[in-house]
Amino acid sequence: MATTSTATANFSDLVTQLVAARAEEELRARAVHAMPGMYVPARFVKGTNTLRYARYADLGVITTTLSEGTAPTDQALTISSEFFTADQYGATVAVTDLAQIDNPHDLIGIAAERIAYQATRSMDVLVRDNIHGSAATSAIFGATGATTLTQNTANSAVAVAGVLTGAFVKNMVARLKGANVPQFADGTYRCIIHPSQEYDLVSDTSVNGWIEAHKYVNNVPLLTNEIGQFAGVRFIVSSDAKVTTGAGASSGNVYSALFLGPDAYTIGDSQTLQSYFVAPGGDHTDPLAQKALVGYKMRFGSLLLDEAGARYRILKTQATVAV
């Protein structure tokens, strides 16, 4: 007796595979370097692509007495400045008309969301790399031992045992205060660290006073990806924190923790981030309306504001858990 089954000739040609209505979620890094509140917003003057910050240095302390009847020697203000320009970035995603017809998902909607995340993360990584690439060597410290910090440390000198501890955090705070770096309005500094550094910090059994963010009792609004506070520092964790792979002692990864006070760096755009959608047939390169385009462009720049002195410190460590 003949039986119709899935093995019957041509049956498989009539069966469509079941596809979930919702696309799989991506595993994403948090963009924290370019989030509001971490930097000074800069404004470009229309007609120029340069933004310049002026500095008038404080006058030195006077320790000499005046001579009777003799006027003091006049002083002049010391003027200096620093500036940055903006660069343009952008990208597109193309989707054909047939792909939109045959795919069970909203490809245009997915492309628009993906391109938006690409723009956000690209800006964040560009800002991060500019910060760490432009940082003054006098503000960079490396953990050359379990309890030893060395200024201007080469990555290769960062020790395997040199992981992020509460003692190192207190050391950075002391250096910021000693350099007269102000704190944010909430009375704290901020620090961007990698999840591998987070593990070592919260695992430090000698740490006293660690407060997890969800245990704050003063109703402080949480920062994006904030995990808690210690020694007057609020910690923000992101897998996009600066990591130099295999550069440390014994080829270990070097993780750079960015400690900072307000106004440490600035970000400005002379062309605000804009998104675009070009429908099929929307330009002369698509005469048969076969392709839709989703894209973005932006023109921005960033700068470490350290003409008057670095308002940040960078601590290089290795980590127990290398991710």
- Let me know: does 155 contact 244? Beta carbons within 8 Å: yes
DSSP annotation string for 88-142: EEEEEEEEEHHHHHH-SS-HHHHHHHHHHHHHHHHHHHHHHHHHHHH--GGGEEE
Strand bridging mode 291-304 / 87-96: antiparallel
Q: pLDDT 10s per residue in the chain (323 long)?
A: 454 455 657 656 655 566 666 667 777 777 889 888 888 888 777 778 888 888 898 889 999 999 988 999 998 999 988 888 999 999 999 999 998 888 888 889 989 999 999 999 999 999 999 999 999 999 999 999 999 999 999 999 999 999 999 999 999 999 999 999 999 999 999 999 999 999 999 999 887 778 887 778 777 788 889 999 999 999 999 999 999 999 999 999 999 999 999 999 999 888 888 999 999 988 878 888 999 999 999 999 999 999 899 999 999 999 999 88
- Let me know: does 106 contact 275? Beta carbons within 8 Å: no
What does pTM read for this prediction? 0.86
Q: Residue 254: beta bridge partners?
A: 244
CATH number for the segment(s) 139-262+309-317: 3.30.2320
SS3 188: coil
Torsion angle defined by CA atoms of residues 158, 164, 165 and 170, in that order, rounded to the nearest 10 degrees? 90
